[in-house]
């Protein structure tokens, strides 16, 4: 039964993740006297350097149909409210991020997460996504965005609430502006400019 195999695999993943995390604490924490919390030397985490401010620019492709579909509705809008804004709708995304506005231009990462229609009278989306980069030294690092996206505004601003890898302790903001929108397919290309402090 495929579903059983899937469950076994999932269970294996859970166990192996547990083993990995519990058997390899950061070397800085191998201290017998350590209990719950202690002050920390910045040097041990490599954050005694000056914080950098970087500007990233790329295009975010929301593709809701066709062979390259990357955006899928997982919760339909609330029928009870019958709002014109699709209030309650949730789309799960694994949207390509490219250097140029064309989908065929260089892939620099994926935007993984979801957006949800969170306003009853205007199309405002709640965005919750991890920008998972694959480009150069940023490969494997990610930036997390959580914010409000009123999609018909020219420029929408959303907070960068953190990150991983090279973006540990990251903070900043992203500005999104729609580059193109295909009324027929619903596909959108959005320019993102992300300003972020990181080490």
Ligand X SMILES: *[C@@H]1O[C@H](CO)[C@@H](O)[C@H](O)[C@H]1NC(C)=O
- 140 makes contact with ligand X (CB under 6 A): yes
- The interface region with ligand X, picked from 46-54, 64-72, 110-118, 190-198 by CB under 6 A, is 64-72
- 68 makes contact with ligand X (CB under 6 A): yes
Among 21, 22, 33, 82, binds ligand X (CB under 6 A): 82
- The interface region with ligand X, picked from 2-10, 39-47, 60-68, 110-118 by CB under 6 A, is 60-68
Q: Which is nearer to ligand X, 8 or 69 (CB)?
A: 69
**Which run of H or E residues covers position 180?**
strand 171-181
Burial class (CB in 10 A: 0-12, 13-18, 19+), 198: buried
* Residue 153: CB minimum distance to ligand X, A: 25
CA distance 93 to 111: 7
Contact 7, 14 (CB under 8 A): no
Interface map 118-137 toward ligand X (x if CB under 6 A):
----------------x---
Structure tokens of 161? 């609430």
Contact 169, 196 (CB under 8 A): no
- The interface region with ligand X, picked from 65-73, 152-160, 166-174, 191-199 by CB under 6 A, is 65-73
Residue 124 to residues 96, 143, 157, 178, Cα–Cα distance (Å): 22, 22, 12, 14
Residues that bind ligand X (CB under 6 A): 66-68, 79, 82, 103-104, 134, 139-140
């Amino acid at each position: 039964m495929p579903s059983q195999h899937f469950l076994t695999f999932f269970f294996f993943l859970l166990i192996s993740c547990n083993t990995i995390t519990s058997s390899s604490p950061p070397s800085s924490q191998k201290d017998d006297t350590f209990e719950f919390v202690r002050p920390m030397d910045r040097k041990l985490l490599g954050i005694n350097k000056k914080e950098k401010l970087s500007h990233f620019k790329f295009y975010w492709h929301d593709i809701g149909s066709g062979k390259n579909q990357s955006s899928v509705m997982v919760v339909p809008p609330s029928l009870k409210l019958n709002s014109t804004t699709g209030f309650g709708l949730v789309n799960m995304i694994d949207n390509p991020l490219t250097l140029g506005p064309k989908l065929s231009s260089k892939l620099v990462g994926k935007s993984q997460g979801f957006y949800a229609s969170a306003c009853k009278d205007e199309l405002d989306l709640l965005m919750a996504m991890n920008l998972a980069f694959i480009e150069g030294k940023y490969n494997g690092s990610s930036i997390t965005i959580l914010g409000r996206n009123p999609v018909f505004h020219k420029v929408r601003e959303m907070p960068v609430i953190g990150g991983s890898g090279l973006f540990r302790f990251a903070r900043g903001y992203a500005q999104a502006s729609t580059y193109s929108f295909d009324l027929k397919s619903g596909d959108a290309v959005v320019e993102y400019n992300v300003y972020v402090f990181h080490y």
